[in-house]
Amino acid sequence: MSVENMKKSFHEQLVQCASLEELEQLKRDYLGKKGVIRLSLSKMGSIPPQERKPFAIALNKLKAYIEQQITGEIEKEQNRLLHARLEKEWLDMSLPGINTKRGARHPLNEVERRCLAVLRQLGFSLVDGPEVEDAFHNFDALNIPEHHPARDMQDTFWLDGGLLLRSHTTTVQARVLGSNPSLPLRVASMGRVYRNEAVDATHLAMFHQLEGIWVDKGLNFAHLKGTLAFIARSLYGDSPIRFKPKFYPYTEPSVGVDLQCSLCCGGGCSSCHGAGWVTILGAGMIHPKVFETFGFDPNEVSGIAFGLGTTRMASQLVNAPTLRPMYDQDLSLLHAIHRGL
């Protein structure tokens, strides 16, 4: 076969190669140890002497040409495969990743956070106290005598050694007053409280409260009323509020603050149970006997105390039908509740 025929045959086979494997095989067929070029060189003896040199020169040029052509095609195919792989595996790192679902504050925590934000505007600081209390701080120091029904087994969770689970956060008020604080005093406390009572739509054996006290010289009922109105409107907006007389052993006089229910028409929702008003605060002037217990002269010192049921507030804000969803560990329900905050 002449050099020209070999070159023509090479081109015909080259254009038919569709993969790296076929190109490598073509390279072996022409340039390998048993390829066309080596085979042609081995047959030089059968060529007339005067034709050997021109044939060898032409054959070496063909060899160089074939190497150049195949190397170029291999590089093209390698680049094509690389670009195809990059296109398939391409990822724009400048785009945001796929995040997991983010958590959120529990409705109770959100209510507590809002309440504390309001109280901080009035100069209140947060204090804490134990949930397992003694009878003195839970009852005696707060003008609740031994014959009071709140001290019965039916109303209080009693523990060994005369201890109990605190039935209100007012115990922290007693502990703060017993620490001989300097005046003026503005503190708030919050947390779990426990009542030994039947669980229903509006009552739980464990729930949350938030309480504040302000003690100074010269405080009167006007300070109490102004403070309660500020708290109510800061938390609930401009909905109408009303004050009504209440009784608490540790305050005198005592009041409750009602909010006109804006969650329904005509008082038909679960928050107000048809009354059109819902209680949001209990408060009063600190009882003189409480001051006397801790060595304060009630003729010189006065104070205001108020408490909010944060569990009930959370259910009111999200319009939950009962209090129990506040403590159910149902993520789908909690997500639905939180969307209402």
Per-residue model confidence as pLDDT tens digits over 100-154: 777 677 888 888 999 999 999 999 999 999 999 999 999 999 988 888 776 776 6
Would you say residue 172 has pLDDT above 70? yes
Query: In terms of domains, do 60 and 132 share one?
Result: no
- Tens of pLDDT, residues 219-257: 999 999 999 999 988 888 888 889 999 999 999 999 999
| Angle in degrees, CA 120, 122, 125, rounded to 5 | 45
Per the domain annotation, does 99 fall within a domain? Answer: no
- Which of the listed residues 63, 89, 115 is the one where a domain comes to its end? 89
The per-residue pLDDT for 176 is 94
Per the domain annotation, does 253 fall within a domain? Answer: yes
Query: In terms of domains, do 272 and 309 share one?
Result: yes
Phi, psi of 238 (to 5 degrees): -95, 20
- Which of the listed residues 89, 122, 153 is the one where a domain comes to its end? 89
Is-contact 325 333, C-beta < 8 A? yes
Per the domain annotation, does 238 fall within a domain? Answer: yes
Query: In terms of domains, do 175 and 277 share one?
Result: yes
**Domain span holding position 11:** 3-89
Per the domain annotation, does 102 fall within a domain? Answer: no
Query: In terms of domains, do 74 and 184 share one?
Result: no
Per the domain annotation, does 94 fall within a domain? Answer: no
- Which of the listed residues 59, 89, 119 is the one where a domain comes to its end? 89
Is-contact 197 102, C-beta < 8 A? no
Query: In terms of domains, do 272 and 184 share one?
Result: yes
Query: In terms of domains, do 119 and 79 share one?
Result: no
The per-residue pLDDT for 266 is 47
Which pTM value belongs to this model?
0.65
Per the domain annotation, does 100 fall within a domain? Answer: no
Query: In terms of domains, do 302 and 272 share one?
Result: yes
Query: In terms of domains, do 185 and 69 share one?
Result: no
Query: Would you place residue 89 in the very low, low, confident or very high pLDDT band (cuts 50, 70, 90)?
Result: confident
Specify the length of the chain in residues: 341
How many structural domains comprise the chain?
A: 2
